[in-house]
């Protein structure tokens, strides 16, 4: 009796154990990841700066693109630039900052860039270019206050404000004072969705930066 019971039960137990092991051992997450879930808005600023002291800013007409980007990608992204620029200007205007021409001695310089390459970040400062945009060719651009956060993957819109009132002419250096990164926004091929996610990301960058503004 005991032997026949064992003969029946042991295969059942072994089969059930195999089922338990297979289902319980999986390392795959139990949640789902949608493209939009990877969108991220990251802002960082120089805490020693009083942003109310700045009144005007200048933004160049061109978009900075990752030098490794293909011509096709550049053309693809360039079509969003007008919308991006308009949204950023709209937010800065709401904070009472005035956009001026480079000849009007702007207080701040705004630079907008898009990167597609995977990169490691010290903060999200990027060192592979320097912007000669504000009439200071050959000057470096640094974030001495930045802190290490981690790394980002491909597809990020970055827009920064630089202090043009306190340029270190001796060392040819311009300090960034505020940076915003909208990551993940280039991970979906549906153009209307990208546009919406881009604009939402830009708005969120200003929402989470309450220290900005002239008052």
Q: Give residues in contact with another protein (CB under 8 A).
A: 1-2, 5-6, 9-10, 13, 16-17, 20-21, 23-27, 29-33, 37-47, 123, 145, 147, 149-153, 155-156, 183-184, 204, 208-209
Tell me how far, at minimum, the Cβ of 99 lies from another protein, in Å. Answer: 24
| Residue 115: partners with Cβ closer than 8 Å, 6 or more residues away | 65, 66, 126, 154, 155, 156, 158
Tell me how far, at minimum, the Cβ of 2 lies from another protein, in Å. Answer: 4
Minimum CB distance to another protein smaller for 10 or for 190: 10
Minimum CB distance to another protein smaller for 33 or for 71: 33
Taking a C-beta distance cutoff of 8 angstroms, is the pair 134, 154 a contact? no
Minimum CB distance to another protein smaller for 138 or for 150: 150
Tell me how far, at minimum, the Cβ of 21 lies from another protein, in Å. Answer: 6
Other beta carbons within 10 Å of 188: 17
Tell me how far, at minimum, the Cβ of 175 lies from another protein, in Å. Answer: 14
Minimum CB distance to another protein smaller for 106 or for 201: 201
Distance CA 56, CA 98 (A): 5
Tell me how far, at minimum, the Cβ of 12 lies from another protein, in Å. Answer: 9
Minimum CB distance to another protein smaller for 87 or for 106: 87
- Give residue 52's region: left, alpha or beta (phi > 0; psi -120 to 50): alpha
| Residue 145: partners with Cβ closer than 8 Å, 6 or more residues away | 45, 46, 47, 48
Taking a C-beta distance cutoff of 8 angstroms, is the pair 164, 139 a contact? no
State how far Cα 79 lies from the chain centre. 19
């Amino acid at each position: 009796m005991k032997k026949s019971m064992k003969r029946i039960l042991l295969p059942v137990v072994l089969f059930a154990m195999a089922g338990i092991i297979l289902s319980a051992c999986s390392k795959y997450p139990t949640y789902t990841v949608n493209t939009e879930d990877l969108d991220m808005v990251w802002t960082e600023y120089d805490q020693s700066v009083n942003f109310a002291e700045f009144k005007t800013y200048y933004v160049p007409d061109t978009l900075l693109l990752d030098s490794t980007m293909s011509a096709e990608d550049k053309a693809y992204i360039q079509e969003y630039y007008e919308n991006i620029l308009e949204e950023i200007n709209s937010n800065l205007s709401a904070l009472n900052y005035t956009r001026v021409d480079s000849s009007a001695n702007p207080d701040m310089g705004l630079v907008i860039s898009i990167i597609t390459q995977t990169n490691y970040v010290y903060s999200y400062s990027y060192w592979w270019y320097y912007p000669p945009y504000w009439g200071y060719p050959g000057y470096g651009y640094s974030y001495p206050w930045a802190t290490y956060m981690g790394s980002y993957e491909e597809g990020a819109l970055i827009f920064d404000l630089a202090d043009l009132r306190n340029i270190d002419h001796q060392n040819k250096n311009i300090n960034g004072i505020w940076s915003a990164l909208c990551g993940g926004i280039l991970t979906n091929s549906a153009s209307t969705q990208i546009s919406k996610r881009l604009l939402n990301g830009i708005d969120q960058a200003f929402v989470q930066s309450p220290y900005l503004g002239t008052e």
